[in-house]
Every structure is written in structure tokens, then in C-alpha cells.
Structure 1
Amino acid sequence: MLHGWPFHKASFRKLLPMLEPHYTCYALDAAGMGESGWSRHTNFSFYGHVERVRAFADRMKLTGYSVIGHDTGGTFARMLAVSDAARVDRIVAIDTEVPGHLPGVVPKLQWAFRRRWGRALFKAALGSPALMRRWLGNVGFFFDKRMIDDEYMDLFVTSWLRSDHAYRGLLEYLLGVDHSFVARLDVLHAKIEVPMLFVWGEKDGVFPVKRAREMVARMPDKASLAVIERAGFLPHEERPEEVARHVLAFLNPEVPVRLRRDTA
């Protein structure tokens, strides 16, 4: 399970309990994020992130695995389907990059993060809960703005201020986002042989569902799309049970989907 920006492995905390009864799950922190270890020598390119996941699979002696990725983690998942094709069985990509579309805020933040004043300004913004709640509410992270609660703020906003190292990691991850690679995603898709499921929040303000539909329409034999109503950019946070049902049905279509609530 691979997260995106500005998140870490805890972004799967609501989905994990529904998948763990059926599968062994590994939620990973990408370099720079969460509790990951990184240094000034760390490769923050897309390829660097993917190679670390492959190394993890090697270390765990995995002979086969599926990947669930959100946001940029969904792009890493698709890259793994090509670079580790012998082991990757299926791909689930949740509200992820689409060919030729990069959210306008990304290049703006990258430009600011390369400047000392920009890094200081964004750090000050993270330290203002009222400002961050307003921004998150406006960019389409959630359909239900009540989801931007104290727990969410503690995990994915103020946590980046716990140390200079944590804050710098947040910036380095985003600086590694490759615009040109995103523009060529159709080329990557043409190389993927395994089934793919795209899960999308109907009200996603980061990656519009219209673009997801267009992308999947270009891959009629490889991919399917599940749209989650009343959900934004984080459907696995906002409507985890519905996401879990789609994921479980996709990973093993022959087994009826049973969640704990079904037998409660």
C-alpha cells in the first residue's frame, strides 16, 4: 500500500482493517514521509521510490503481490506493474495522476520549495490550523468537510512540523514529482499486462473524475473504474467500506466479499 503527498502510511488506517482478514498487508512510508529514513543522498525520483518498493519485496521474499496506491502512490503502482512484472498480480490506483494533467498547485509549490522564503512561508501555513482547514476544504480533498477533524490535522498537517528533518522530507518528496513522466502515462499504460482497478472520488478536486473516465476509456481491455459517490480526493478516508468492497472484489472475483460489519 503506497501513499501520496502530503500523506504517509496512516492514510490507509481505515482501509487496512477491512483488508487484513483476507490478505497480508504492508503499508509503506515513502522516502521523506512519515517515519521513513532518508538523507541528502536519497533518490526522490519516481524511479527511486519504485526501486525501494522492489527492494522491500525482495527483502520480504515475496514471490507475488498486488499494489494499492493512492495519488502518486498509484503512479508508483503502475510503474511496478512494468518494472516488477513477474511478481505484480494486480494494481489498484486510487485518485491518482492521469496522463497530461498535473494539478496547478504542484508546480507552484515546487517553485516555492526551491526558495528559502517559500519554504518558510509554507511552514508558517502548516502552523496555522485555521488556514490549512480552509485550504483543504477548498481543494477538494473531502466532500464532507467535517472529515478535516483534529485527528486528520494531527496526522497529516502538524505532524510535518515535529522536526526540521520531517519538514524537509515533505518538501523533497514533492520536488521529486516528474511533470514529464505524468504527461507520458499513456505510454506506461500500454506496457502494463496485469488487470488494473481505478477507484475515484466523484467530487475529487485534485484529479477530476472526468479525466479518470477518459483515461480508462483508452484502456478498455486492461482497466476498470469504480466511482465513489459523495467522496473527494480521499475516498479511502471518507468512504472506506465502499472502497474496500471494490478492492476485495477486484483482487479475488471468485470469493464473495465479506466485511466484519456484514457478520456483526
Structure 2
Amino acid sequence: MKRRHFLQLTGATLAAVSLVQTARAAQPPATDAKAFRAMRKYANLSFGRIAYVDRGTGDAALFLHGAPLNSFQWRGAIDLLSPYRRCIAPDFMGLGYSEVPEHQALDARAQLEMLVALLDSLGIRAVDIVASDSGGAVAQLFVAHYPKRVRTLLLTNCDVEPNSPPPGIKPILDMARAGTLADMTAEWLTDRAKARATFGAAVFVNPAQLTDEIIDYYVQPLVSSPLRRSQYERYHLALTPNPLAGIESRLAHSTVPVRIVWGGSDTLFPQTDAAYLDRIFPRSQGVHVIPEAKLFFQEEYPSVIAAEARRVWGMR
């Protein structure tokens, strides 16, 4: 390991220990689904009617969710960070409450161009990006193709060029190809115990936190019509071929400050992916691993996200 990376993975992490331990000790109640729904806005773009939340003032922060989630994933972090940033949290096309035409492309590059159009419509030139899962792949494309529009980047468990899409989602892709993924997901609306025992147990430390209200907010738009079911499956099919192929050389020349926060018990994106990101970004501020956390720990530990975001924003 290079000396620079060793120092980042030890000294920088130790410096943040007390801050993160305090953040993990007491997670405040987050905005509930009813209140979050009331915040939802829509932007009429050439891509379609894009759902997003816009909360707070000042410099903008852009929150990019994972699949099969939507912007609701970031509600707790937005609660904590909206006093410091204008928090913009869109729903990706094919997921959440965004409504797009039948033949709209849903691949990562199309999602990127949608985000740029959304920011332009809101008069936002540059953002601090906070991203998860497949949203992290879009975030890396954002840095590669629009580097002057990204101030900082906070990456949590997500795709990297050598692991995109991860082999662990092959069963999901197989169901999408067979046209059965939406049917399986719809079952979570009638058998919420199954949702918690399968999906919840795979991606959360505490599956019980996936309440009926949360399940409904995530699942209902995905299966609300034949078109939405098809787009939900097409979103997953668009994860191949690798959307990050060839991106490493661009990221290796990035001047964007990057902080990496990783769930150490995630079965899709191992800690070696975090180390890879730390190695290729020249201005990486190191990796913080949460040993027990899984893929969607951001929802369970919003105070950790808020603390790490403020850290990379220079607000320690």
C-alpha cells in the first residue's frame, strides 16, 4: 500500500472516529413518508416529468439513490443537511415517482444527462454529490463528463469500473429479462414480512426498520402500471453493459475532493471496491468503513452521512 493511502486510511479515519461514533449513537427520527410526499416537486424536462425534493438554501447538494429505492432513501440525511445546503434529491428514470415516456433510455448516461437538465432548469451550476449503489455509478460519470460542475463527492457502497454490475445481482437481471422482477417486487406490498426477510435482511442491519409505510413508498410506483413495471425492469437491464467501462483514466485525473464511506457487511460491493476508489481518485480523503453496515446503511445511519458530508465540505 502506498504511504499516502496508508495515512489516509489510518490517520484520517482516526481523526473522524469520535465524530462518527457520536453520529451513530443516536439517529434522530427522519421525515416520514407522508411529509416527504408533500415535499415532492416535478420538473417538466425533455426526458419526462422528473420527481425531486428541493429543501434548504445555499450551495446545492445532489443526492443520488440506489435501486429499487428512490429519493426517500436520503430523507434522514436531508433533514440534517438542509440547514447547510440546498438539498436536491431526484428520482431516477424508471424508479420512484418520475414519469417518463415509454421509449426513454434508462441507462446511466441517460440518467446523467437528465440530472444535468434538471440542475439547469433549477439554475444550479455546481453541486456536492452524495451517492449510493447504481447512483454512485452515475455520480462517477458526472465527475468524468462534467468535472467543473462537481465541488465534492461523497461515495457510499456503489459500482466501480471493475465491479459493475456486481455478479451478485445476476438473479435480479435474470428476472428482469424474464419479465418477472416486477411481479416478485409487487409481492412485497401484500407480504411485507417477506419483504423484510428477503430484501430487508440483505441490505439493512435492522430489517425491521423497513416499515409497511416505507415498503409502500418504495414499491408502489414501481408496479403501478404495465408501463412502470416494464420501465422498472428496463432500468435493471440497462445496468449492462458496464456503464463505467474505460472511466478509470478520467477519474485518475479528477481534482474533485472525494470521501468514501462503506458498509463493511455488504455482499455486493466489498471493501476492495472502496479501496479501489481511494486509490484512483487523486484527492481522496480516505475510506471510513462501518463494519456492520450493509448496502443501504445510509437510510439507517443518516447522522453518519451528515457528518461525513460536512467533513468533505470542509465544515468539520
Q: TM-score, normalised by structure 2?
A: 0.72
1:103 maps to 166
- Deviation of 1:121 after TM superposition, in Å, equals 4.8
Aligned-pair CA distance for 1:185? 4.7
- Which whole-Å CA distance do the structure 2 matches of 1:63 and 1:120 have between them? 36
State the secondary structure of the residue aligned to 1:245: helix
CA distance in 2 between counterparts of 1:191 and 1:103 reads 25
Q: Matches of residues 38-117 of structure 1 in structure 2 within 5 Å?
A: 38-101=100-163, 102-116=165-179
Contact 1:193 1:222 (8 Å CA) reproduced: no
Corresponding residue for residue 129 of structure 1: 192
- Is the alpha carbon distance of 1:184 and 1:151 closer, same or farther for their aligned partners in structure 2, counting shifts above 3 Å? farther
Are the counterparts in 1 of residues 259 and 287 from structure 2 also a CA contact under 8 Å?
yes
Partner of 2:11: none
Take 2:292 and 2:170, find their aligned partners in 1: how far apart are those partners? 28
Please list every run of 5 or more consecutive structure 2 residues that lacks an aligned counterpart in the other structure. Answer: 1-62
Instruction: State how far apart, in whole Å, the 1-side matches of 2:213 and 2:76 are.
Output: 13
Given that 2:253 and 2:282 are in contact with CA atoms closer than 8 Å, whether structure 1 keeps it comes out as no
The whole-number CA distance in structure 1 between the counterparts of 2:126 and 2:186 is 44
* Segment drifting more, 16-25 vs 148-157: 148-157
Q: SS where residue 90 of structure 2 aligns?
A: coil
Q: CA deviation at 1:114?
A: 2.3
Q: CA deviation at 1:159?
A: 4.8
1:201 paired to 2:263: yes
Question: How far apart, in 1, do the equivalents of 2:182 and 2:76 lie?
Answer: 33
Percentage of pairs with the same residue: 23
Quote how far apart the aligned CAs of 1:66 are: 1.5
Moved more, 184-193 or 146-155: 184-193
* CA deviations over 1:14-58 (Å, ceiling 9, x no partner): 110111000011100111111102122211111100001111121
Q: Which of the numbers 243, 253, 257 marks the counterpart of 1:181? A: 243
Under a length normalisation based on structure 1, what TM-score does the superposition of the two structures give?
0.85
Distance 1:208 1:175 in 2: 22
Deviation at residue 200 of structure 1 after TM alignment: 1.1
Counterpart Cα distance in 2 of 1:79 and 1:162? 30
Give ranges in structure 1 of 5+ residues lacking alignment: 257-264
Please state if 1:161 is matched with 2:230: no
Q: In the TM superposition, what whole-angstrom CA distance separates every residue of 1:192-239 from its partner, at most 9, and x where no partner exists?
A: 321111221122222122332244234454352222343211122111
Instruction: Give yes or no for the alignment of 1:32 onto 2:94.
Output: yes
Whether the aligned pair in 1 keeps the contact of 2:182 and 2:222 (CA below 8 Å) is no
Change in CA separation of 1:37 and 1:222 when aligned onto 2, cut-off 3 Å: same
1:242 Cα deviation after fit: 1.6
2:282, 2:232 → 1: CA distance? 36
| Structure 2 counterpart of 1:260 | none
Report the secondary structure of 1:26's partner residue.
strand
Distance of 2:185 and 2:205 partners within structure 1: 26
Distance 1:19 1:211, change over 3 A: same
The separation in 2 between residues aligned to 1:41 and 1:157, in whole angstroms, is: 22
Asked whether the 8 Å contact 2:161–2:242 carries over to 1, the reply is no
Q: What letter corresponds to residue 129 of structure 1 in structure 2?
A: R
C-alpha RMSD of the superposition: 2.3
Instruction: Provide the secondary structure at the position in 2 that maps to 1:63.
Output: coil
